[in-house]
């Protein structure tokens, strides 16, 4: 099989144990990766009717066959769990270097079950899993946590972590990775907090083989060229905030938790305004030519 490892890594925080579970090729072909494969794994591993904050609600990180390739915007992963916000399937997407490191660790999905008795930092280095005390990280925000984990485990470690909101199981808390990317929907960070899991550090290993590396590289070059065309220009210059003013004008801007569809101060938080007054520099995920990420500074 190419593009996959064909297995999931299951970590049990209660028992401090791990096991590998094979994922059949037929399932991978059917569900491919990301949210699709994650929904299948959640269906398999989440007991019916479970409270989202119970230890047996799994927290599942899933990659895809293209993660680790040079295809632009391919460094994506999905986080799935039973959502404490909706009580239904929760899926949230994020991206960047940790997606590649997770795949290098030898699995197509990382399934975290159980609940640690004390705050825990989970590390997966060259595929080897370890559990560390994370008491000293508690209360830190996600930037501080990532910095400290890298100092402890190594600079090239990629980190996913929660801040105080996740620790307190705020039902919409997110999981942060790679210095500010967020799995920001459906309260995945609250479930991570309910497991007493403050952070995950991943580094090392190897990617699965690709069927036609030269062909894939050729497609990658073509896609990169085309990704710099007019269709993505607004994201390259203003970032996804470019949509704020447009959605507001169309009456489709989710406002006050979807109670309204326009926002009276939309212009002040628009991409144009941020670009004009607060823009510092561009940033981008791993293997991305578009770079919709904008670093802005505000003292407001």
Question: Of 111, 114, 110, which Cα lies nearest the Cα of 53?
Answer: 114
CA distance 133 to 142: 17
Contact between 108 and ligand SF4 (CB under 6 A)? Answer: no
Beta strands in 63-105, from DSSP E residues, in sequence order: 76-82, 89-95
Closest separation in Å from C-beta 292 to ligand SF4: 3
Question: Is residue 142 at the binding interface for ligand SF4, with CB under 6 A as the rule?
Answer: no
**Rounded Cα distance, 131 and 207, in Å:** 24
250 is written with which tokens? 């169309």
127 near ligand SF4, judged by CB under 6 A: no
Stretch that binds ligand SF4, among 61-69, 202-210, 252-260, 283-291 (CB under 6 A): 283-291
Q: Is 224 exposed, middle or buried (0-12, 13-18, 19+ CB in 10 A)?
A: middle
Q: List the one residue from 111, 121, 153, 290 that touches ligand SF4 (CB under 6 A).
A: 290
Residue from the set 100, 162, 293, 294 that interacts with ligand SF4 by CB under 6 A:
293
Q: 164 burial class (0-12, 13-18, 19+ CB within 10 angstroms)?
A: middle
Q: Is 95 in the site for ligand SF4 (CB under 6 A)?
A: yes
- DSSP H or E stretch at residue 121: strand 120-125
Contact at 8 Å (CB) between 56 and 47? yes
Q: How many residues touch ligand SF4 (CB under 6 A)?
A: 9
Tell me the DSSP string of 16-27: TEEEEEE--HHH
Q: Which of 35, 64, 73, 174 binds ligand SF4 (CB under 6 A)?
A: 73
291 near ligand SF4, rule: CB under 6 A = yes
Question: Which lies closer to ligand SF4 via its Cβ, residue 14 or residue 182?
Answer: 182
CB of 275: closest distance to ligand SF4 in angstroms?
15
Q: Which stretch binds ligand SF4 (CB under 6 A): 39-47, 154-162, 248-256, 286-294?
A: 286-294
User: Interface residues with ligand SF4 (CB under 6 A)?
Assistant: 73, 95, 284-285, 288, 290-293
């Amino acid at each position: 099989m190419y593009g996959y490892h064909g297995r999931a890594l299951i970590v049990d925080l209660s028992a401090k144990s791990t096991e590998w579970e094979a994922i059949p090729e037929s399932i991978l072909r059917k569900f491919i990766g990301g949210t699709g494969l994650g929904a299948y794994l959640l269906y398999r591993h989440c007991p019916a009717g479970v409270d989202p904050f119970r230890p047996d609600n799994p927290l599942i990180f899933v990659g895809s066959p293209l993660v680790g390739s040079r295809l632009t915007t391919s460094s994506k992963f999905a986080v799935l769990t039973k959502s404490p916000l909706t009580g239904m399937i929760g899926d949230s997407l994020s991206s960047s270097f940790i997606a590649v490191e997770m795949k290098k660790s030898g699995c197509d999905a990382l399934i975290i079950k159980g609940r640690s008795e004390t705050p825990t930092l989970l590390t997966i280095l060259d595929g080897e899993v370890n559990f560390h005390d994370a008491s000293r990280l508690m209360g830190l925000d996600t930037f501080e946590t990532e910095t400290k984990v890298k100092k402890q485990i190594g600079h090239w470690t990629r980190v996913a972590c929660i801040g105080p909101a996740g620790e307190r199981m705020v039902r919409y808390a997110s999981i942060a990775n790679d210095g500010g990317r967020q799995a920001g929907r459906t309260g995945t960070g609250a479930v991570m907090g309910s497991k007493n899991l403050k952070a995950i550090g991943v580094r090392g290993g190897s990617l699965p083989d690709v069927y036609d590396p030269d062909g894939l590289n050729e497609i990658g070059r073509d896609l990169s060229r085309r990704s710099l065309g007019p269709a993505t220009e607004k994201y390259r210059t203003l970032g996804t905030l470019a949509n704020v003013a447009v959605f507001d004008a169309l009456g489709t801007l989710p406002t006050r938790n979807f109670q309204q569809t326009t926002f009276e101060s939309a212009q002040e938080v628009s991409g144009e305004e941020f670009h004009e007054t607060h823009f510092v520099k561009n940033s981008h995920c791993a293997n991305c030519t578009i770079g919709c990420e904008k670093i802005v500074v505000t003292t407001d």
